[in-house]
């Protein structure tokens, strides 16, 4: 039951974007389309789970004074794996995401979960926490990406919605990302109060 | 016991003036520009005005219902936002885009911040900026009304930006029979409205004069092709959205400084940004962005020019 909660909390109750307000930089930058959002979300989820598990395994060996650099090295290792795999098998996506793939290293969700959770909990809990947080991040990012792709480009997953649709360009631009995120936060708050 | 001493708390001086009275007078002062808009741009202008005003009021109603606030659509502030937004768009803008801009102006520009009196930015200009970012092609194609149809025409400022010489006289610019946003072209109609506001005492000359004066000075010094001090400043202050912006949007009570000194600084800032955008920027016109940018500085200006008590130190920022 408690284990299940460690997974479940990341989806909505402690959603990394909507509640913890972490990882906003990739959220605003790469949520221009559903494809980008999903690619970013899944990459971050993989790194999050792997680093969470590894850090919870080695937490007793790391002196607390150098823990942050050690976490960064561990996270960077997994990010390098993601980067190379993506470049080999999904070159188009890799080109689209650009600098934001290596920047997963300093994604504050991952470092935040490492510091706040994985460094003091067991392996199974850390795995579930990483999975929940990752899925929560991916889902939120995908919703923003979907809304922005439909409104800003008139497409879903790259396919046009309708031929005579006039795209609202602002949603393809950074202000559109802030706006959609803000409206999503409103929805979340309204939902919480009900 | 007789009541000889009445003790009450402030306010002690009461005035008949109310928010809705001020707002409806502003609406009246905007009517001449509306008449000019329909005269120059024909029926499409009328449809735009009606669409923007109706959608602004309905959005205000919907927001206030949803947010559980008292419904105050009768105070006329949403009508002003709708009118100003309509005056700020081209006659050829599709109606649904205008409605979308109006909804954005009220919902995001005003109600999200807490409603009337709490918005940082002028709602109508927020709507215009949204439309400019979303539908740039439709917002920058301008028309005039000729023989029952809209005919595409470049605005005088666009002609200047392209390096040409605009074929309009000062009289045309003053009367407003040329291409542009529907409510900005007629200086005459806007000045009539401004006189109404000045007569009612709702605006003072500080912001408009410092704004227009700065633009005149800047364009006179830097605007000419024959070197410094050769610019056509009269053309610059008569064309574009300067008159509409300076008299009606930079003077918005909510989004402009309280003190007179602050208002002068606000006007000078708007004037500088407008001139810089017009002379060296990528777009032909910069009034709306300059007012929006200066809106963001209003809290600082208010603090900077706050009356001090004797001996009180001025704190920057």
Instruction: Give residue B2's pLDDT.
Output: 63
* Mutate: best of A152, A170, A181, partner B, most B CBs <10 A: A170
What is the tally of helices (H) and strands (E) in chain A? 8, 2
pLDDT of residue A1: 61
Task: Report the gap between the CA of A168 and the closest CA in chain B (Å).
Answer: 5
Euclidean distance between the first and the last CA atom of chain B, given in angstroms as a whole number: 54
- Most confident of the ranges A12-26, B51-65, B278-292, B300-314: B51-65
Q: How far is B110 from chain A (nearest CA, A)?
A: 14
B83-to-B56, B123, B285, B288 alpha-carbon distances in Å? 9, 11, 20, 15
Instruction: Please check the confidence at residue B263 and state whether its pLDDT lies above 90.
Output: yes
B134 touches chain A (CB under 8 A): yes
CA of residue A138 relative to chain centroid, distance: 5
B133, A170: Cβ pair inside 8 Å? yes
Mean pLDDT of B8-16: 82
Inform me whether the C-beta atom of residue B108 falls under 8 Å from chain A C-beta atoms: yes
Q: For each of chain A's 194 residues, which pLDDT tens digit applies?
A: 678 888 888 888 888 888 888 888 888 888 989 999 999 999 999 999 999 999 999 988 899 899 999 999 999 999 999 999 999 999 999 998 888 899 999 888 999 999 899 988 889 999 999 999 999 999 999 999 999 999 998 888 888 887 778 889 899 998 899 999 999 999 998 888 88
Q: Looking at the complex, does the CB of residue B220 fall below 8 Å from at least one CB of chain A?
A: no
Note whether A169 contacts B108, CB cutoff 8 Å. no
What are the structural domains, with CATH classification, of chain B? Answer: 19-304 (1.10.3430)
Which residue of A164, A165, A169 to mutate against B (max B Cβ within 10 Å)? A169
Residues of chain A found within 8 Å of residue B130, distances taken between Cβ atoms: 170
Which value, to the nearest 10 degrees, does the dihedral of the CA atoms of residues B202, B204, B205, B210 take? -110
Which of B100, B108, B134 faces A169 most closely, judged by CB atoms?
Answer: B134
Q: What pLDDT, on the 0 to 100 scale, is given for residue A26? A: 85
Interface of B with A in 35-64 (CB under 8 A): none
C-alpha separations of B308 from A189, B207, B302, B304, B315 in Å: 41, 22, 12, 10, 10
Using a CB-CB cut-off of 8 Å, the residues of chain B touching A179 are 108
| Closest among A122, A25, A110 to A71, alpha carbons compared | A110
pLDDT at residue B150, rounded to an integer: 84
Residue B50 CB burial class (10 angstroms; 0-12, 13-18, ≥19): middle
Chain A residue with CA closest to B66: the answer is A190
B137 touches chain A (CB under 8 A): no
Stronger pLDDT, B284 or B245, i.e. the higher one: B245
Residues 151-170 of A with CB under 8 A from B: 166, 168-170
Burial class (CB in 10 A: 0-12, 13-18, 19+), B283: middle
Using the predicted structure, report yes or no on whether residue B201 has a pLDDT greater than 60. Answer: yes
| Out of A26-30, B29-33, B256-260, least confident range | A26-30
Is residue B266's pLDDT more than 90? yes
Quote the pLDDT of residue B315: 67
What gap in Å lies between CA B256 and CA B202, rounded to an integer? 13
Query: Is any Cβ of chain A less than 8 angstroms from the Cβ of B95?
Result: no
- Of the pLDDT bands very low, low, confident and very high (cuts 50, 70, 90), residue B213 is very high
First to last CA, chain A: 25
Best residue of A152, A153, A166, A174 to probe chain B, by most B CBs closer than 10 Å: A166
At B148-158, the pLDDT tens digits run 788 888 888 88
Q: Measured between beta carbons, which residues in chain B are less than 8 angstroms from residue A148? A: none
Cβ(B53)–Cβ(B107) below 8 Å: no
Tens digits of residue pLDDT in B81-117: 999 999 999 999 999 999 999 999 999 999 999 888 8
User: What phi, psi does B297 have (nearest 5°)?
Assistant: -90, -5
Q: What per-residue confidence (pLDDT) applies to B154? A: 85
Q: Which residues of A touch B63 (CB under 8 A)?
A: none
ipTM over 0.90 threshold: no
A46: distance to nearest CA of chain B, Å? 36
Question: DSSP class of residue B149?
Answer: E
Query: Are the beta carbons of A179 and B135 separated by less than 8 Å?
Result: no
Q: Give the model confidence (pLDDT) of B130-176 as tens digits.
A: 999 999 989 988 988 888 788 888 888 888 888 888 888 898 889 88
A168 and B108 within 8 Å at the Cβ level: the answer is no
Q: Which two tokens stand for residue B22?
A: 């001020």
- Dihedral angle computed from the Cα positions of residues A98, A102, A103 and A107, in that order, rounded to the nearest 10 degrees: 130
| pLDDT(B47) > 70 | yes
């Amino acid at each position: 039951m408690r284990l299940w909660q460690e997974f479940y909390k990341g989806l909505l109750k402690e959603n990394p974007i909507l509640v913890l307000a972490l990882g906003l930089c990739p959220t605003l930058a790469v949520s221009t389309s559903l494809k980008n959002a999903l690619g970013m979300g899944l990459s971050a989820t993989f790194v999050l789970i792997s680093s969470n598990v590894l850090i919870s395994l080695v937490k007793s060996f790391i002196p607390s004074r150098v823990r942050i650099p050690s976490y960064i090295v561990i996270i960077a290792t997994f990010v390098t794996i993601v980067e190379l795999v993506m470049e080999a098998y999904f070159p188009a996506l890799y080109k689209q995401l650009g600098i934001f793939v290596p920047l997963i290293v300093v994604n504050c969700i991952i470092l935040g979960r490492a510091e706040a959770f994985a460094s003091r909990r067991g392996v199974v809990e850390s795995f579930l926490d990483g999975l929940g947080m990752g899925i929560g991040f991916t889902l939120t990012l995908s919703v923003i990406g979907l809304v922005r792709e439909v409104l800003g480009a008139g497409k879903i997953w790259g396919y046009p919605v309708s031929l005579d649709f006039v795209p609202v360009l602002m949603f393809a631009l950074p202000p559109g990302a802030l706006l959609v995120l803000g409206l999503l936060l409103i929805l979340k708050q309204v939902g919480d109060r009900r | 016991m007789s009541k000889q001493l009445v003790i009450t708390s402030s306010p002690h001086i009461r005035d008949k003036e109310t928010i809705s009275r001020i707002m409806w007078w502003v609406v009246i002062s905007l009517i001449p520009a509306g008449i000019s808009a329909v005269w120059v741009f024909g029926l499409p202008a009328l449809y735009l005005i009606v669409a923007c005003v109706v959608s602004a009021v309905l959005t205000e109603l919907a927001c206030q219902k949803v947010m559980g606030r008292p419904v105050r659509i009768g105070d006329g502030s949403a009508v002003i936002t709708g009118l100003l937004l309509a005056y700020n768009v081209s006659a050829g803008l599709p109606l649904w885009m205008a409605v979308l801009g109006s909804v954005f102006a009220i919902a995001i520009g005003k109600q999200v911040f807490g409603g009337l009196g709490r918005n940082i930015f002028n709602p109508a200009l927020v709507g215009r900026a949204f439309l400019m970012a979303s539908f740039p092609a439709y917002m920058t194609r301008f028309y005039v009304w000729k023989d029952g149809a809209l005919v595409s025409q470049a605005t005088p400022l666009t002609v200047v930006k392209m390096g040409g010489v605009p074929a309009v006289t000062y009289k045309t610019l003053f009367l407003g029979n040329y291409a542009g946003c529907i409510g900005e072209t007629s200086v005459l109609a806007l000045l009539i409205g401004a006189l109404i506001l000045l007569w009612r005492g709702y605006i003072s000359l500080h912001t408009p004069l410092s704004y227009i004066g700065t633009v005149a000075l800047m364009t006179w010094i830097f605007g000419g092709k024959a070197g410094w001090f050769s610019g056509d400043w009269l053309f610059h202050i008569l064309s574009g959205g300067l008159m509409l912006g300076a008299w009606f949007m930079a003077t918005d009570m909510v989004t402009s400084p309280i003190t007179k000194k602050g208002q002068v600084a606000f006007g000078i800032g708007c004037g500088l940004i407008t001139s810089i955008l017009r002379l060296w920027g990528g777009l032909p016109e910069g009034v709306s962005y300059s007012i929006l940018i200066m809106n963001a500085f209003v809290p600082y200006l208010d603090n900077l020019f706050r009356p001090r008590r004797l001996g009180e130190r001025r704190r920057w920022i």
